[in-house]
């Protein structure tokens, strides 16, 4: 007897980030991953926090348009240095330049999360800013760090969950996983509001 395929999962992470996937996995909920088709180019004069909020919501909406019955999570993070957005460096040279700029500075990592379910008409978005104070860094320690961890896919060129913590003087946040890429306290709050039962 042929078995029918399992019903589609009703929770979807609209992100291909392995960091967000690992964080969401902590909640013990079954979920799928879908890549959102969203242009991440900042708008003219757009502030880093506005950019993060817009992109998180755009990602959730893009996936929800394809999966209207699902509860979709979208998230985005923008490193904010004095009101200027810092993106993912992508390579060693740009990461070196970013860390030189951030040396001795306070950077706000604007981490936004959105939850959307088209079928329910549900939509929420929130921001979890994280203040990170970098130590004064010399070129030798920047080079050692980048060679060791190669954080070229991370906004701000440092992984606080790894060796990057050694570059910092302080982290100030009310949602501890926000700096890694998904603020789980806010995410849980929104998922409960959307009707999911969390363990």
Using alpha carbons only, what angle is made at residue 93 by residues 178 and 82, rounded to the nearest 5 degrees?
45
DSSP 160: T
Q: Which of 76, 80, 126, 175 is catalytic?
A: 76
The residues, ordered by sequence, that sit 6+ positions from 140 with a Cβ below 8 Å of its Cβ are: none
The residues, ordered by sequence, that sit 6+ positions from 55 with a Cβ below 8 Å of its Cβ are: 38, 40, 74, 76, 78, 112
Q: Where are the beta strands (DSSP E) in 87-176?
A: 106-117, 122-134, 168-172
Q: With contact defined as beta carbons under 8 Å apart, do 126 and 193 qualify?
A: no
Count Cα atoms within 13 angstroms, Cβ side, for 151.
26
DSSP assignment of 78-91, as one string?
Answer: EEEETTEEE----S
Q: With contact defined as beta carbons under 8 Å apart, do 96 and 146 qualify?
A: yes
Active-site annotation holds for 76: yes
Q: Residues with catalytic annotation? A: 76
């Amino acid at each position: 007897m042929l078995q029918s395929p399992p019903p589609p999962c009703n929770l979807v992470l609209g992100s291909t980030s392995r960091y967000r996937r690992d964080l969401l996995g902590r909640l013990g909920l079954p979920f799928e991953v879908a890549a959102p088709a969203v242009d991440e180019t900042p708008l003219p004069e757009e502030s880093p926090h506005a950019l993060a909020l817009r992109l998180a919501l755009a990602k959730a909406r893009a996936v929800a348009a394809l999966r209207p019955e699902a509860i979709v999570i979208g998230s985005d993070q923008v490193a904010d240095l004095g009101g200027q957005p810092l993106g993912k460096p992508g390579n060693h040279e740009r990461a070196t330049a970013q860390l030189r700029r951030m040396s001795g500075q306070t950077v706000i990592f604007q981490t936004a999360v959105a939850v959307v379910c088209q079928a329910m008409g549900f939509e929420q978005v929130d921001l979890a800013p994280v203040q990170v104070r970098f130590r004064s860094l010399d070129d030798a320690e920047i080079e050692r760090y980048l060679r060791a961890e190669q954080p070229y896919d991370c906004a701000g060129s440092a992984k606080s969950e790894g060796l990057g913590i050694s570059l910092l003087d302080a982290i100030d946040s009310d949602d501890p996983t926000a700096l890694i890429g998904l603020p789980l306290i806010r995410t849980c709050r929104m998922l409960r509001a959307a009707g999911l039962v969390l363990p």
